[in-house]
Structures are given as C-alpha cells and as structure tokens.
Amino acid sequence: MRRLPPLNALQIFETVARHRSFTRAADHLCLTQGAVSRQILALEDYYKFPLFKRHAKGLTLTAEGELLLPAVKESFARIEEISLRLTRQRTDLALKVPTCVMRWMLPKIMQFQAEYPDLHVQITTTWQHDVDFQSEPFDAAIIYGSSPGVDVQAVPLFEERLTPVCAPELLHGKPLERVADLAQHTLLHPTRDHRDWRMWLDHVEDREIDAGHGPSFDTLDLATNAALQGFGVAISDLALVDEDVAARRLVRPFDTVLTTGSRYYFVYPDCVAHQQKVNLFREWIAEHWTERAGGGNRPPPPA
C-alpha cells in the first residue's frame, strides 16, 4: 500500500504558502503558531527536504515547495468540488437554464415549486445553450440544439418555431400587412450573425428586405424585450412568446412560421438518474410541459 503524506499537514502547508507566514496561517486556521510549525516540520520530515526558506521578514518556498504547491491546491479544490456535489441537500435541484428560455421556464418552475414546496430548484441562468456535467456542478439543464448530445438522458420540450413579433402599438402608424412592409420597421436580431431573420426571410422567399439591418442582441430574450418596448420587430420562438401573445403584449403580424429543426431539451447525466429529485422534476415537466403533453407549442391566438 502506498504511504500518503499527512493530509492535514498538506492543507496547513497550502495555507502557510498562501500567507507566507506561520503566524498569519495560524490565525487563519485558529491554531497556535507552534502547532502550525510542527505540522510543517512533520511534512518536511516525510519528504526529507525543506519546503520553506525561513527569513527574518517571512517565508519563501523552496524549489521543491514550489513544485508541490500547485498539486496540493488542485487536489484540495477537486476534493472540495466533489464533496459539494455529494453533500448537496437532497431537496435541492441545481438546474442550468439558458437566459433566452427563462421567459418560458420561470412560470413552470414557480408552478412546480407550489406543488412541491419541499424540493428547492436552484436556477443558474447562462447565455450558453449546452452543458458539461463533467465539469459543471448541475443536476440537470435545459439545452438547445439539433440533438440532446451524448451521455445524457433527455426529455424533448419543444421544437423551435420562428416568427416575427412586435408590440401592438408599433403597428398604429406603420401597419405590417405584407412582408415588404418590414422595410419601414427596425429589425431586432437575437443573434449577432442575424441568422434567424435571414432564415425566416429566405423561408418566405423575400429578397428585398435587408436582413442585416437593425440592432443585434446577445439572446432571444433581450431582442423580445426590445420588441415589447416598441423598439422594432423581433424574430422569436412561438413557445417563448406564447403568453405575451395571449395577453396581447405582443402580436404576430404574419402567419408564416419557420420550423428550424432545433429543439429545447431537459437533460441530466446517468449518474443522477436514480435520484428522486431529478425523477420528480423530469416526470412533472414531461407530463405538463412537453409537446406530447400539449404544453410546448400551443398555437397562439391570431394576431
């Protein structure tokens, strides 16, 4: 069996190296200076070489200490990360959600919390549309793409279907009766490459409207918020603006809808598939809010 160095002494070594002082390290650790010194001496005895150079003004690491320190930091950071995952409360579900889908997701989460008050959903929003469960501390995520990816279990939520939307008052002076009328309005883009507007205009076979015209936003949600404030016409997803259209905060000036082939998914890794909190949320969202359940792309009322 391999003999490991004393782990408590390694932790104290990292603290001393950070503070470059036995005294400050002792204060930080709530130990006596003598106790800290003894732990470092024990570690140096284990390695058979000094880890610090003692000076009148403090400490510096020896060459061997400089080599050891990064490995100690990385190891303890990894242990801390894994420990946080293992000791996270069973009633907490850490969920990563793209900012653009929060308009659709938040009412669902609030309804879920009302039905299951003992299971707390911790939401982290991000501009990213994917997740890496190997390096990110999440139990589950909402992602967007043409497929859910590999090494995950997935529940398809809804298919992306794009159509223009705007505030009703925007049409009072400049009606949108034909696609060509978009030339009189500001186009609001949810991506910097303007691909969503380009795809929709190609779909309706319009070659006159300049798809590069208008401001760009980092997310679909930001572009939709600009449309709600009457700044222009945004290209948005039917499911994500469903409630705004139903409440007449937004209108759909055209009936044409572009199905892009991409979807939003609820995903989670195999390693948490047995956990009750994940299964409960998965079953609830599958029952209430997927396309199969009729909650993903309910047709909005006519504009």
* Topology match between the domains 92-159+262-288 and 161-259: yes
Residue 185 has pLDDT above 60, yes or no: yes
Record: fold of 7-87: Arc Repressor Mutant, subunit A (1.10.10)
How many CA atoms within 13 Å lie on the side-chain side of 163? Answer: 22
Widest CA span in the chain: 84
pLDDT in tens, 34-49: 999 999 999 999 999 9
To the question of pTM greater than 0.85 for the whole model, the response is no
Residue 27 has pLDDT above 80, yes or no: yes
How many CA atoms within 13 Å lie on the side-chain side of 293? Answer: 15
Instruction: Provide the pLDDT for residue 293.
Output: 47
Strands 52-55 and 233-237, bridge-based pairing: unpaired
Residue 137 has pLDDT above 90, yes or no: no
Instruction: Provide the pLDDT for residue 212.
Output: 87
Using pLDDT thresholds of 50, 70 and 90, give the confidence band for residue 105.
Answer: confident
Contact 139, 281 (CB under 8 A): no
Residue 298 has pLDDT above 50, yes or no: no
Three-state secondary structure of 108-124: HHHHHHHHCCCCEEEEE
Residue 299 has pLDDT above 50, yes or no: no
pLDDT in tens, 265-287: 999 999 888 888 999 999 998 88
Residue 86 has pLDDT above 70, yes or no: no
Using pLDDT thresholds of 50, 70 and 90, give the confidence band for residue 288.
Answer: confident
Residue 195 has pLDDT above 90, yes or no: yes
Mean pLDDT within 151-178: 93
Cβ within 8 Å of residue 75, ≥6 positions away: none
Using pLDDT thresholds of 50, 70 and 90, give the confidence band for residue 149.
Answer: confident
**Centroid of chain to Cα 35:** 44
Q: Distance (Å, rounded) from C-alpha 93 to C-alpha 121?
A: 5
Instruction: Provide the pLDDT for residue 283.
Output: 92
In b/e form, how buried is each residue of 29-61, taking b as 16+ CB within 10 angstroms? bebeeeebbebbeebbeeeeeebbeeeeeebeb
Domain chopping of the chain, boundaries: 7-87, 92-159+262-288, 161-259
Using pLDDT thresholds of 50, 70 and 90, give the confidence band for residue 300.
Answer: very low
pLDDT in tens, 197-224: 999 999 999 888 998 889 999 888 899 9
Q: How far is CA 287 from each of CA 121, 155, 239, 276, 283, rounded to the nearest angstrom?
A: 18, 11, 17, 16, 6
Instruction: Provide the pLDDT for residue 290.
Output: 64
Q: What architecture is domain 161-259?
A: 3-Layer(aba) Sandwich (3.40)
CATH of domain 92-159+262-288: 3.40.190.10
CA quadruple 197, 296, 142, 148: dihedral sign: negative
Residue 77 has pLDDT above 50, yes or no: yes
